[in-house]
Structure 1
Amino acid sequence: MAQSLETILENLLVPDNAVIQQATTQLQEAYKDPAIVPALCGVLGSSQNPQVRQYAAVLLRRKIAKQWKKFDQETQASLKATLLQVLVQEPERTVRHAASQIVGAVARHELQEGRWPELLQFIQECIRDNEPSKREMGMFVLSTVCDTSAQGLQPHFASLFALFNTTLEDVDNRAVQFYTIQAMTALVEYCGTDEAGTFQKLIPKVLAVIRHLLQHDEDQACEALEIFDELVECEVTIVVPHLKDIMQFCLEVSSNAELGDNIRVKALSFISWLTRLKKKSILKHKLVEPVLGVVFPIMCTPAEEGEEDPDNTFIDELEASTPSSFASQVIDVMALNLPPEKLITPLMQLVGPALESDNPYQRKAGLISLAVIAEGCSDHIQKKCLEPFLQVTCKNISDPNPVIRNAALFTMGQFSEHLQPGITKYHGEIVPLLVNHLMQGEHSSKEGVTKTYYALEEFVENLGKDILPYLPALMESLLSALTTSQAVHIKELAISAIGAIANAAGEAMVPYFQQVMEQLKPYITQVLPESHQVLQVQALDTLGMFARTIGEQHFLPMAEECIQLGLKLVEEVDDPDLRRCSYGLFASVSTVLKANMTPYLPNITKHMLGSLRSTEGIIIHHSDETNGVLNFVEEDLTEESEEEDDDDVEGYSVENSYLEEKEDTCNSLGEIAENSGSAFLPFLEECFNEIFKLIEYPAATIRKAAVTSVGQMCVALHKHFQQSNTEDSTGALAKLLSMSVPLMCQLVREDTDRTVAMTTLEVLSEMLKEIQTAVVAGEGHLDGIVTAVRDVLQTKTACQDDDDAEDDQQAEYDTMLIEYSGEVIPALAVAIPGQQFAPYFAGFLPLMAARFKRTSTDAERSFAVGTISESIASMKAAVVPFVPHLYPILLQAVKDENDEVRSNGVYGLGVLAEHGGEALYQHYPAILQTLSEVSTIAGQQRRVVDNMCGAVARLIMTNISAVPMESVLPVMVSTCPFRRILRKTPQCTSVWFTCTRQGILRFSNSCPSC
């Protein structure tokens, strides 16, 4: 059979489709013959054609990997012996590598069971051979075996690392050194504490090898760098002692313009990745300035002739392929993970001169730097830098150079998105500038138009009623663009901007509604060509925004028609973006229809469940050796196999549009469940179960959406029982909670993505507030939630960097995570009786107090005092034993220089007086004196004054005899206008009428002004 099989394989290589087709049919028949394996072995060992031998090796590996366990011991022994013999005799490197892949496939089965000792002996003999080609072949086989059978090699790790120590020094054979690093990379995941010390000692040698490879083979050097990615992800402690050296090496590579883009981007990627995971080490080794000193000049580099300017698209780091496009993302990551104080000062030393430069690319780099730090340093910028940042940005929006102008428009868009609410007070300067820019239409390039719309849309979306003076001019311009422009992209941008304006203007958009609908209907009611589907998608989004904002009475007449149109599009057009936006429209309309969604829910949930279950968009990445090789045998081999074989699969990815479809499906289903109430019950369990499966999905955006939706469905079911006044006799809610609460607690502790942990804490907090006792009734639920919150406060979760460091400053996002955990504490106090909560509060209090220090940031102090105050309000009388500990903290907070800290302190002191009872009576004079001093501070926020009036009212209501009413009441009356009393401070209202009834206050003489 071997001879005929060789002929078949030769014919597959002939450039004649008819011959290839005939050979394909013959090979498929040959595959059914049990003698196919020895025949392939025969071709591999005897064919004179190296391409045929390589073909035979690929087919043999697939067959063996699938059917190894079906072979008898004699056949297995023969195959193993044959393979080692082929490796020794084969002259062609490519065929040897293909044969090594077969060895790896067999080792995957054998080494796990402790069999095939001859293989390891063979590898050692080859690696110790004097002949370079033998050493190379032995090391390649070992790297392949490590890749397929790392777990089976664990008993041999000590001897392997001793071997690596030698092979890394084989300076005369670069291939041996390279394959050594590949083997080490494959073992990282399985290394434990026993191997960490040995691995650490090899890192300097690994760095030396990669330096050497850079001079001879950049591709291999780039691939070798992956060992550091793997170490940081799996065993970061191995890297830590050498972190500074590795970072400096990556900075050298990144800054070397003579190197290729791939290796430079790889080095930048590692810098970015390490900044995420070991931010405290970055600060400890003083690496912020060196990193900025490398990445900022890279950002200043102009695009090469014929190459698209990478920053024109402002792509994210997953898509960035050039150093200049990736460099800005490194600064973005630094802003998200480092304390603003540590980043902004050294960055501005570079940005300041760049913004004054005559070089447009330097000015662009300065503007983009400001743009990418807006998200991570939002609070800091709003408090200390907002006005000068806006001035320089507005100035450059009017620059005649499109490179500078587009960068400034992007920066304004980023500011508008992330610097809320501070930026909105500058609407008088910014909106006219952007509207004028839009109406002039002076910039015809796609990039310029896109950036203009982006800046405008992001800014107006959050304006609220402040948009009203600009509404006529905005709508005139946008409706004109819709009616006169022939460009699909312009229409798409205009439709999107109208949705943003609707979000801000609300019912003020009613006069424009019919006119807008006339423009949108052609895109919603028809099946459009693919080139125009973006208009359909955007029209659905904008229509959904109108459903949410213009008022139920105005949208209700067309609500059901919108559902029908959306369902029609989902059924007629197979497109993930269109499905995603249709589902969003259904969710928006559910805010109007509510229980009247009933007739449409069967069809809606059918489609949405299909999207949740879909595997569309998954891309399988095969190894280079097998890509395109005899793919016709895949189905045949799969039918024969007992287990999945993914030896030739290097990885999987999912197209973004399908990820977004799943994400929005989760979000929309959760909202529909909440809005439609009892009508959703027949579909709740099935939808919940499908969404629950996605909580551990690889993509963080989907994990967040799934957690949010699961929480919404639990709340929806609870509200059904509450509103229908029925008991949960079947335990349906308890079942959902028993599934979701433990997994949410696990996510908070173990998920490596900070935003997932924040979302999960937010959902837990909302569930505790809405559902209350049932959330903590399940076995282990209360302890699980408490442990998760405590771990966050002690920076022990997977997404937090818990390195010991002298500097206790945090990135703003790290502080936000702490704040989300703090919101769970008072929510817990609502869910369980105060006395039961008291022991847990005793455990939380020191962690809160530790964040109320002189060295703590304003945000940290505000968080600590706010959390304590809200907890006191929920605990009520159970707070009495804590009065001696809480009173000094709150009194100090009332004297704080920061308005927000002071406001929280005043509120906390008031609720402590209300619930602390007699334990606080002795402190009334000091409290009143302190509040009197606070009342004289000029220019403080209205909220502080409101809370101060509320605190005095609580003191009066708790123990009126301890308050000198003749002096306190007139001050309180003059401070708090009557309308505001009624609207903002109910305690003041109670005091007002109590004092009037008791004759302490004469209404006619002391009535405050309205």
Structure 2
Amino acid sequence: MEEDDVTEWEEAEVGGAFPRLAEAALGALGELAENCGAAFLPYLEPSLAAVLDLTQFPQCQVRGAAYEALGSLSCCGRGRENQTAPSPAHQGAFQALLSGLRAEPEVGGALGAVGGVGRILQAPGPAPKEWLEPIGAALCDVIAGKIGCLRTRRDGDETSQLAELREAASDWLLELGAAMARAQTGSDPAQTGSDPSHTGSDLTFPPHLFRRILPSLLAALADPAHPGARSWAAAVIGQLGHALGAEATPFLPYLGPALRLAAGDADAEVRANVFYAVGRVGEAAGHAHLEGAWPGAELCCHALREGGEGPGKVRDNALGALVRLGVPYEQSLPLALRSLPLSQDLQEEAPVLRWLLGAGTERLLPHVPALVRGVGPALALNRLDPALSQSLLALLRRVGGPTPTTSGWAWPRWTPAHAAILGRLLDDVIADQ
């Protein structure tokens, strides 16, 4: 490219084909840097110079693509044997990415910068330990609205832009927390074969980062005008609160009253995420059954009693929370059985049914019709893992007597087809024993 061409792109090409070509080229460059690994290192510095030039392009879509490419360049070659500390070129790409994220004047560019941060966290091999705190600080500042594009907007669309950016940033927080925990313990999931989000410790998110964003989360949870913000805040509190493990305890006095109030929200999606948070945070902190320390048991029981939540995601999540909170079976079992089967949030199904198995035959004998009604759909529709299905079928056989056939049982609200399927499953279990 001639020098004159370089100086003309700001004027002549902004409205033409050049921006689209630049975006495509930046995307391809990032892919090459990621996939070629160490083979790309000889081209790193000239590529970095070209990408840095495009972070000043007038159109934010090109700047966003440039920031994503910086994320790829900052970790190209990572994961190779005998990996050393980041080179000056890697450090330069990383610092340019974080500086661009903080100073970027438009949301499109900032979204690209958040995507670049995600590429660093997802690249092969662990991110350099010294990069994790700056990444955490930058993501927290996005959520708190402290970056350039959110401080300078005055066009009336600030709330939706903030929501878009902070959701993108929050999507990386759990992965960041897991990386920080791995760096602290020195474990590597690639070598152990473990889940990358679990490090063998209850703590997979640092409390100081949670403390940094807690005011923003609580403000969003109480935002009267935007149910989407309230729903997002409740979900993030649930995810991060669970990842805090026992370190969630100091935050209970702040979270408990906020979630208690939000549990009465007029929006069903907000309430569903509130109960998600109630269960996850209470389970992590270990104070769930103490209503003075955590309102979980009280809120869940109220939602599941007659006159509370009807069938749907809110009731499903309230039930999922109830079984995580350590509420005694004498109090929780009747409420759980009347709330089954789950109707929408089937991710809660396996935890709830495993909890039912722990109730024991003696407690379940007075509730056989409700038990069959509650577990039957999951069994008849074959949506459980085989081990859980077999355990539940064995339980039904025990509570149903010596010959638990479909003709001898009550089938409240059951279709003949489902009853026949479950009957055959029971017959199979009996034949195997």
Superposition TM-score tier, normalisation by shorter sequence: 0.5 to 0.7
TM-score normalised to the size of structure 2? 0.65
Give the one of 951, 973, 977 matched to 2:340: 973
How many residue pairs are counted as aligned between the two chains?
344
- Find the counterpart in structure 1 of residue 321 from structure 2: 951
Residue equivalent to 2:252 = 883
Q: What is residue 410 of structure 2 aligned with on the other side? A: none
* Letter of the structure 1 residue corresponding to residue 27 of structure 2: N
Q: Select the residue among 810, 824, 836 that pairs with 2:158.
A: 810
- Name the residue aligned to 2:150: 800
Whole-angstrom distance in 2 between the partners of 1:760 and 1:797: 11
Give, in angstroms, the shift of residue 952 of structure 1.
2.3
Q: Quick check: 1:883–1:920 contact (8 Å CA) kept in 2?
A: no
CA 1:714–1:985: 2 relative to 1, 3 Å: farther
Aligned to 2:18: 658
In the alignment, structure 1 residue 828 sits paired with structure 2 residue 171: no
In structure 2, the CA distance between the partners of 1:852 and 1:663, relative to structure 1 (3 Å rule), is: same
Match of residue 928 from structure 1: 300
Cα offset for 1:664? Answer: 0.8
Letter in 1 for 2:358: T
Residue 810 of structure 1 aligns with an amino acid whose one-letter code is E
Does 1:904 find its partner at 2:276?
no
Alignment of 1:79-94 (within 5 A): none
1:681 aligned partner, one-letter code: G
Greater relative contact order (Cα < 8 A, sep 6+) = 2
Paired AA for residue 71 in structure 2? G
Counterpart position of 2:110: 757
- 1:186-216 CA-partner distances (Å, limit 9, x unpaired): xxxxxxxxxxxxxxxxxxxxxxxxxxxxxxx
Matching residue of 2:39: 683
Could you tell me which runs of 5 or more consecutive residues in structure 2 were left unpaired when the two chains were aligned. Answer: 182-202, 378-433
CA contact (8 A) 2:150 2:158 kept: no
Residue 917 of structure 1 corresponds to which residue in structure 2?
286
Q: 1:681 to 1:813 in 2, by over 3 A?
A: same
- Paired residue secondary structure (1:850): helix
**Residue deviations 1:615-659 (CA, integer Å, cap 9, x gap):** 6992756xxxxxxxxxxxxxxxxxxxxxxxxxxxx9754463333
* Structure 1 residue 809 displacement after superposition: 7.9
Cα distance, 1:681–1:842 mapped onto 2, change above 3 Å: closer
Q: 1:743 aligns with which of 65, 82, 96?
A: 96
Matched, 1:618 2:5: yes
SS in 1 for 2:17: helix
CA offset digits 1:248-271 (Å, max 9, x no partner): xxxxxxxxxxxxxxxxxxxxxxxx
Residue 914 (structure 1) shift: 1.0
Q: Is the 8 A contact 1:880 1:919 kept in 2?
A: no
- The residue correspondences of 1:126-165 to structure 2 (distance < 5 A) are none
Which of the two has greater helix per residue? 1
Query: In 2, are the aligned partners of 1:619 and 1:653 still within 8 Å (CA)?
Result: no
Task: State the secondary structure of the residue aligned to 2:340.
Answer: helix
Alpha-carbon distance in structure 2 between the residues aligned to 1:695 and 1:672: 17
Aligned to 1:109: none
The equivalent residue for 1:711 is 71
Check conservation: 2:220, 2:229, Cα contact below 8 A.
yes
Classify 1:924/1:893 alpha carbon distance in 2 versus 1 (closer, same or farther; 3 Å): closer
TM-score w.r.t. the length of structure 1 is 0.30
Q: Distance in 2 between matches of 1:883 and 1:835?
A: 18
For residues 42 and 88 of structure 2, what CA distance do their matches in structure 1 show? 13
Aligned-partner residue type, residue 218 of structure 2: A
Amino acid at match of 1:888: P
Q: How far apart, in 2, do the equivalents of 1:964 and 1:905 lie? A: 22
Residue 886 of structure 1 aligns with an amino acid whose one-letter code is L
Give how far 1:828 is off. Answer: 3.3
SS, match of residue 885 in structure 1: helix
Is 1:785 matched up with 2:152?
no
1:620–1:651 CA contact under 8 A, matched in 2: yes
Q: Distance in 2 between matches of 1:773 and 1:965?
A: 43
Counterpart residue number, 2:421: none
Q: 1:141-183: per-residue Cα shift (whole Å, max 9, x none)? A: xxxxxxxxxxxxxxxxxxxxxxxxxxxxxxxxxxxxxxxxxxx
| Alpha-carbon distance in structure 1 between the residues aligned to 2:145 and 2:98 | 15
Supply the AA of the counterpart residue of 1:840.
L
Q: Is the 8 A contact 1:773 1:832 kept in 2?
A: no
Task: Quote the sequence identity (%).
Answer: 18
Residue 947 of structure 1, CA deviation: 2.6
Three-state SS of the structure 2 residue aligned to 1:921 is: coil
Contact 1:895 1:934 in 2 (8 A): no
- Return closer, same or farther for 1:869/1:756 CA change in 2, 3 Å cut-off: same
Cα displacement (A) at 1:920: 5.2
**1:990 to 2:350 alignment:** no
Distance 1:691 1:975, change over 3 A: same
Distance 2:88 2:243 in 1: 27
Q: Is the partner of 2:158 in helix, strand or coil?
A: coil
Report if the CA contact (8 A) 1:786-1:840 is conserved: yes
- Confirm or deny: 8 A CA contact 2:67 2:100 kept in the other structure: no
Structure 1 residue 910 displacement after superposition: 0.8
Q: Choose which of 244, 248, 262 in structure 2 pairs with 1:893.
A: 262
Preserved CA contact (<8 Å) 1:749 1:797:
yes
Over 3 Å counting, the alpha-carbon distance change for 1:925 and 1:658 in structure 2 is: closer
Bigger Rg over Cα: 1
Task: Name the CA distance, whole Å, in 2 between partners of 1:963 and 1:878.
Answer: 30
Q: 1:962 to 1:690 in 2, by over 3 A?
A: farther
Partner of 1:729, secondary structure, is: coil
Can you list the C-alpha shifts for 1:697-727, whole angstroms capped at 9, x where unaligned? 1323233223324435667855xx4xxxxx7
- The residue type paired with residue 849 of structure 1 is L
**Conserved? CA contact 1:761–1:820, under 8 Å:** yes
